[in-house]
Structure 1
Amino acid sequence: MKSFIADFVYPVCADPIKNGIVTVDDAGKIISIAESQSPDQQPESMERLSGVIVPGFINTHCHTELSHLKAKIVPGNGLISFIKDVQNFRNTEKNAIIDAAEAADAEMYNNGIVAVADTSNSNFTRDLKEKSKLYYHTFVEIFGFLPESAEDLFAKALALAGEFKPQSVSITAHAPYSVSKELFKLIKRHSDSGNNLLSIHNQECEDENKFYRYKLGGFIDMYKHFGINIDYFRPQARNSLQSIIPLLTNRQKILMVHNTCTNLKDIYFIKRFDRKINWCFCPNANMYIEKRLPKVELFVNQGLNITLGTDSLASNDKLCILSEMRTLQQNIPSLSFDTLLQWGTSNGAKFLDIDSDKGTIEVGKTPGLNLITGLDGNKITPETKVKRLI
């Protein structure tokens, strides 16, 4: 067994414990959590730490198979330019993709991440996920805006998902602008029949809403660039999120990712529907691609399950949940460390249905333990660091 004592222990599910002691067994299972009655007089077998102990982080949005694109895409040119660049650069030698993905997996481990919701378009990351120290759920992502291709694309996604089993895996739509109504319906039918967690890129730029409302904006040129004829599509007179909500199942949890241009009307619109919507913010990727953050304040105090993700190294310089928390803290000072910690731990575990084991420091769980140093009271600073303990 190992015992750690720190300035504070943040169980997340309960108030912070001053001079808290956490004891774990060799498998990392929490044996006990207690407050030290004499913090200055501890046995030598107990490791004394300066900082706060928190659970392992949950990364609810990543693309490890794009890790080879790190530093290859010029930041700040907007989503449509980013999509074109990803398609131009993503195809390379398979071993190079796998090597970069394995390095990304190790980076996440060292940055205190214990579980990842990872989006895949190939089977390249299957083997690394099988041997990884991290828990992975793979979202097999479907692209296809032409109605006539829906059946074939769905069948291919189903086959790819089968290659990841018995790992945790599900089939999902990429985004409103890249999935036809017919394909959304096939995904819904599949989701209605069994377990199929969903994760959808949502409202990353103003052009997405402009396309759905008026069939105008940059996406028109993007479809031409890729040789896609969208004559069939009719403007919906409402934002993209509002347009696709009726096409989604009410039997599965759904993660809306990015939400850069989601507004209060969108949030209220969703509340009228019986849908299990969760929200993921990837602030560093938002800044990298669009040079702006979502209106995060609109989501706070709405009773919503909010999580954090890193997105891929194509749109980020590191895979670190603490870094995402820091960006939000710096731009929205009203957010407390406690709130951000909940978003980066227990809320993600709840979405992935692994909260019986991860996300909080509780007896019997194996959540992983991180040491956070360099806090200024209850605020994250540029000096704040994370060190994985177990």
Structure 2
Amino acid sequence: MNAFFSADYVLPVSGDAVKNGVVEIMDNGTVVDIYAPDNPKLSGQAIETHKGIITPGFVNAHCHLELSHMKGVIPKNTGLAPFLQQVIAFRAGDEQKIKQAMQAADKQMHENGIVAVGDHANTAISAAVKAESNIHYHTFVEVLGFEPQLADQKFAEATAVAGQFGDISTSLTAHAPYSVSKELFKLLNEEALRQQKPLSIHNQESEEENKLFRYKSGQFLNFYRTLGKDITDFKAQARNSLQTFLAYLSPSTPVLSVHNTYTSPKDIFFVERQGRDVTWCFCPNANLYIEGTLPRIPNFIHYPQKITIGTDSLASNDRLCILSELKTIHEHFPDLQLTETIKWATINGAQVLGIADHYGTLESGKAPGLNLLTNTNGLAITPETTVVRLV
């Protein structure tokens, strides 16, 4: 039997908000339609009515499920390079405890209204958890290798990891500009074009990354020394990392650029001028956790590139909750409207993950999940807003 849900507003994302709207949902979660409150079809129907805003389920465009056991391990405000050193030092552990932490994190995301996740992985340890999850996962298997001579080896190793995920949607991706050589970027570019999947890349999460590429200076030089990496052959590029690595990719290769904390207006204009297929992903709570600062989001909204939202991992966040990320964005950028940022939290992520035919909007035939945002103020969220998963 179909169910009917109503709230102060229904925000379908695919169209205008419907005041006191009603959503009809089939038993399997598929949307039948959205109705104005005076629609004759609603006569005699049992309608579950709520205060707040009904939205589609959230899409978490960037996460690291396999780091869930590291919650609270790394102190806040270390800066990126020290943070990475501690991730490397502490990511290994008891396999059963790691799996239990991933299961708890997966449950937390589901309860927080997240229906789909773009997840980064270095191993296949998360495969079993994802196979049993109610969440749709696309796994980006990260490839790392800054030494040019190791490009083929690193690519083959990552391909073997990806093969262990079975039927779970999976593709290879570059970890970050400072951890992938030009030669390896070119291999990944060919693979992305073959699979027609985006490259999801950590980008300009720290100003130290730009210093490395512009001047071959800064904290990353010590980072490489600590890891025993010889980067003698690496040359300063006299330009930021984003402009450097995009030159290694085909113009048609889709890129999900994650973090962008220190992406400059010139970088954004560079992307626009070249007509690149770039989607920006912001993980604001992780940015505050690691670097204590946020991307200048208003700089990004002047161009037609899409924006998405991620949580990053529990190693760099207190919770895996897209609503929490939205709250942080609206707190620091109060001029933004929920009618716009809800797209970042839903359909834009679904589009970049290639699942927009099923998720992201409340449209007939889709089964995108149904969230209720409570303690709202008209069509705006407040610090007290919570998310309740209705479907």
> Is the shorter-chain TM-score for this pair beyond 0.5, marking a shared fold?
yes
State the identity %. Answer: 48
| Equivalent-residue separation in structure 2 for 1:45 and 1:28 (angstroms) | 17
What pairs with 1:34-73 in structure 2 (closer than 5 Å)?
Answer: 34-37=35-38, 43=44, 45-73=46-74
| Equivalent-residue separation in structure 1 for 2:300 and 2:275 (angstroms) | 18
Summarize deviations over 1:59-103 as a string: whole Å, max 9, x none. Answer: 000000000000110001110110011111100011111111111
**Does structure 1 residue 263 correspond to structure 2 residue 248?**
no
How much has 1:353 moved relative to structure 2? Answer: 1.3
Task: Decide whether the 8 Å contact of 2:141 with 2:161 is kept in 1.
Answer: yes
**Does structure 1 residue 130 correspond to structure 2 residue 114?**
no
Residue aligning to 1:272:
273
How much has 1:321 moved relative to structure 2? Answer: 0.3
Give the TM-score, by structure 1 length.
0.97
How much has 1:43 moved relative to structure 2? Answer: 4.8
Task: Decide whether the 8 Å contact of 1:6 with 1:19 is kept in 2.
Answer: yes
Task: Decide whether the 8 Å contact of 1:123 with 1:160 is kept in 2.
Answer: yes
How much has 1:274 moved relative to structure 2? Answer: 4.4
Summarize deviations over 1:147-170 as a string: whole Å, max 9, x none. Answer: 111111100111111111322110
Residue aligning to 2:336:
335
| Equivalent-residue separation in structure 1 for 2:84 and 2:330 (angstroms) | 28
| Equivalent-residue separation in structure 2 for 1:326 and 1:375 (angstroms) | 12
How much has 1:193 moved relative to structure 2? Answer: 2.8
How much has 1:45 moved relative to structure 2? Answer: 2.4
Residue aligning to 1:144:
145
The SS at the match of 1:161 is: helix
Task: Decide whether the 8 Å contact of 2:272 with 2:303 is kept in 1.
Answer: no
Task: Decide whether the 8 Å contact of 1:357 with 1:365 is kept in 2.
Answer: yes
RMSD across aligned C-alpha pairs, in angstroms? 1.4
Give the TM-score, by structure 2 length.
0.97
Summarize deviations over 1:248-301 as a string: whole Å, max 9, x none. Answer: 233432100000000110011112324311100000000000000001010013
Task: Decide whether the 8 Å contact of 1:348 with 1:359 is kept in 2.
Answer: yes
The verdict on how the C-alpha distance between 1:194 and 1:237 changes in structure 2, with shifts beyond 3 A counting, is: same
Residue aligning to 1:345:
346
Residue aligning to 2:376:
375
| Equivalent-residue separation in structure 1 for 2:364 and 2:83 (angstroms) | 45
Give every structure 1 segment of 4 or more consecutive aligned residues whose post-TM-superposition deviation is greater than 4 Å: 41-44
What pairs with 1:320-331 in structure 2 (closer than 5 Å)?
Answer: 320-331=321-332
| Equivalent-residue separation in structure 1 for 2:34 and 2:191 (angstroms) | 43
Summarize deviations over 1:117-176 as a string: whole Å, max 9, x none. Answer: 000000011111111101100000011111111111100111111111322110000000
Task: Decide whether the 8 Å contact of 1:191 with 1:251 is kept in 2.
Answer: no
Task: Decide whether the 8 Å contact of 1:329 with 1:379 is kept in 2.
Answer: no
Residue aligning to 2:229:
228
What pairs with 1:77-226 in structure 2 (closer than 5 Å)?
Answer: 77-226=78-227
For structure 2, the 5+ residue unaligned runs are none
Residue aligning to 1:307:
308
How much has 1:181 moved relative to structure 2? Answer: 0.9
Task: Give the partner amino acid of 1:243.
Answer: T
| Equivalent-residue separation in structure 1 for 2:267 and 2:211 (angstroms) | 14
Residue aligning to 1:238:
239
